[in-house]
Chain A
Amino acid sequence: MKASSSSHRSNPIWRFFSSIHLAVFLLITLAITSIIGTVIPQGESPQFYLEHYRYNFFLILKTLHLNDTYHSWWYMTLLGLFSINLIVCTLRRLPFTLKLYKRDSLSLAPDRLLKMPFKKSWKIERCLDNISIERIISGFKESVGKVREAPDVDGGRLFLAEKGKWSYWGIYALHSSVLVIFVGALVGLFLGFKGSVMLSEGKTIDSIVDRETGVSIPLGFSVRCNHFYISFYDNGAPKEYRSDLTILNGKKEVLHKSIVVNNPLRYRGITFYQASYQAIPEASLRIVSPDGRQTSLDIPAFQTVLWPEARLTFGLMRYEPGNIHGRPAVQVWVENQSGQARAFWLLAGEERELNEGRNSYRVSLVDVNEHYLTGLEVKKDPGVWIVWLGFAILVFGFGVVFWVPHQRIWLWIGHKDGKSLIILSGQSNKNRLRFEKNIKKVEEVLDSSIGVQR
């Protein structure tokens, strides 16, 4: 053990990585370099950077991956060095902590006790009888709690009340939590995915597109958007976006939930978040045939609709919600069987003729319904629980390091130079003020139980 630690100490690489200088240096370096990604927009296309920066800078940007600073090779290297630093530093301290932890405080001689930050001694001319000694001891035990005893230390009896020795491990919890968080982040990076999908009302999907790779990822189940709602405050600011989702396993509906911005849907480790929406118009047309028959036709945007009677295909080209005479208007595109196409505007409430061969139809726009697409973020991150665990350890370690003191209170009863000698001493590695108050109380108790004998 000893040999290995001294050979460690002479190894320059080990020495380099175990230095707290390096820790401070790395922390400051990380602070400075992290600024870069907040100044340069992240995750844009190469064209974007070419347009916004000079060519030479673009080359630097490409080499150093400044378009994705926090996943770049050099930032990862810094974090790697940081982790190694943390691990080596911890390992190097381990033997010292172990020694501190194993140290036996129940063998300290009276002269050592008198060197503690808090001490008080009583000299008594005559020998104390057993009854008074027992009274002093029980008074001590009552005021400090659990006590251990060594029957013979330098010819006297030594009592020790010790608390919070385990707090030496708090700093290890604190430092290792940082590593646990890193591990969680890496698990998420390699085993998780992030994607998004625009889902129209009534539609079902069973795969999504990965945001980074563009690859389609099967979900293993399907999701249907039943409805999307949007509501506004009186002043027109958006109040809530809500999607009604159903999870289907094959044909079976297994879960139903309304999600809003701060309340996602989770199923089998995959989470669906409300992220955005898009309004899609759907024009309702009425067509009156030459014989007076009426037909209703709904034409959603981005789709074509075939009207079988006249073999005409309709599509929606443009939509103006209310700019023309305060009424909605649509530009409709019509193609006949032989592939001839034409386009015209329809203003709500007005009719127009559509001649096709020998027939003349009268077409009018009844209404335009807005139909919504909900924008969902879809995410899987199996590392997130590891990160939460790291957070918990971090908070716990913090509490222990700063608020759990290691406290020792000794009582020694024996003889020196033919007189009875009683020593009370104590030490605490943090919160000394409170400790001193407590030990003063012990002193008062002893004062009174010794005072009786005088």
Chain B
Amino acid sequence: MTFSSSYFLSLTTFIYLGAAILYLTYWVFRLGKVGLLATVVTTAGFIVQTTGIILRWIESYKLGYGHAPLSNLYESLVFFSWVTILVYLIVEWRVRRRVIGAFVTPFASFAMAYASFSPRVEDSIEPLIPALKSNWLIIHVVTCFLGYASFAVACGLGIMFLVKDRSKGDPDGILGALPTCRVLDDLMHQTMIFGFLWLTLGIITGSVWANDAWGTYWSWDPKETWSLITWFIYAAALHARFVRGWTGRRIAYLSILGFVSVIFTYFGVNFLLSGLHSYASP
């Protein structure tokens, strides 16, 4: 079994690392061809990863467990990086700015590297525990992760904004290659709205599922609460636009803070706190 899912998924890790380096090179040296290459490599990585995920799904059926590959920390990290790349490729295709890749692909490659190499992450295919056996699992995880991935992109844009904002009047340096603050601000806002919508849907599907499985749509367990905290932060960031005197800078900070909260919702809760969702803990 050379061409097992783990082969494809390990390969993905290296492809994404390569893509991140290419995007950085493109940004720093402003080489158009390298930028194109970065997009091609990222797309290839995405296809390899998709194959890996589908194979893993099939393998779980062969093992007799038969469940979507969204059931433990390893699988969710792989899926997170997959959705992040997907959202990024859509953004790149729509706004045609490859520089953004230099700030987003590192998130995806880091997630893959962590999933593949960290001893804390178990990558074997396990049977589903009774609590996860539900059709809601897929819809809940997919909606949440579309949100998380958009927030990763928005965080990248927020960092770009802060970097760019410092560079006033330096059109030739590497910072000159970044889109203008106005463009970044607008993109960041739209990405956050998109993510906010999916996070909202994720929380809603989670509640409906929890009501089915545990008897309450909301039980304030740490993971739920942290997703609500994340939701509050992005709601604040979306409203901050309407507040006079709140410039793009503060919204960029909120976008980064929001993503920190996403990461905490995702890892911190599993490793540091306990609750109903801690199935993903090592």
Contacts and interface: CB of A to CB of B under 8 A. Distances in A.
Contact of B131 (A35, A262, A377): A262
A145 B145 CA distance: 40
A340 to B, nearest CB: 48
Interface of A: 20-21, 23-24, 27-28, 30-31, 34-35, 37-39, 42, 69-70, 185, 194, 233, 235, 237-241, 260-264, 271, 273, 275, 377, 379, 381, 384, 387-388, 391, 394-395, 398, 402
Contact of B218 (A42, A185, A388): A185
Interface string B216-240: 1110101001101100110110011
A238 B127 CA distance: 9
A391 B216 CA distance: 15
B233 A31 contact: yes
Nearest to A25: B236
B68 interface: no
A34 B131 contact: no
A385 B149 CA distance: 31
B168 to A, nearest CB: 26
A377 B236 contact: no
Contacts of A387: 207, 217
B213 interface: yes
Contacts of B1: none
A31 B197 contact: no
A194 B201 CA distance: 26
A379 B225 contact: no
A343 B171 CA distance: 92
Given A38-B222, A394-B200, A261 B239 contact: no
A35 B273 CA distance: 11
Nearest to A242: B130
Contact of B243 (A24, A30, A39, A42): A24
A385 to B, nearest CB: 11
A263 B211 CA distance: 10
B213 A23 contact: no
A377 B220 contact: no
A185 B211 CA distance: 13
Contact of A31 (B214, B215, B229): B229
B193 interface: yes
Given A31-B233, A31-B236, A20 B243 contact: yes
A395 B201 contact: yes
B242 interface: yes
Contacts of A241: 130
Nearest to A260: B130
Contacts of A237: 126-127, 129
Given A31-B233, A233-B127, 6 more contacts: A34-B228, A38-B273, A239-B130, A240-B133, A261-B130, A391-B204
A372 B178 CA distance: 66
A377 B207 CA distance: 17
Contacts of A35: 229
A395 B240 CA distance: 21
Interface string B115-129: 000000000001101
B232 A34 contact: yes
8 contacts: A23-B239, A27-B232, A30-B232, A34-B228, A261-B213, A262-B209, A262-B213, A271-B215
Ranked 6 nearest A-B pairs via Cβ: A31-B232, A27-B236, A262-B134, A38-B222, A261-B130, A273-B215
B55 to A, nearest CB: 22
A27 B239 contact: yes
A377 B130 contact: no
Contact of B220 (A37, A235, A388): A37
Given A185-B218, A391-B207, A34 B212 contact: no
Nearest to A232: B127
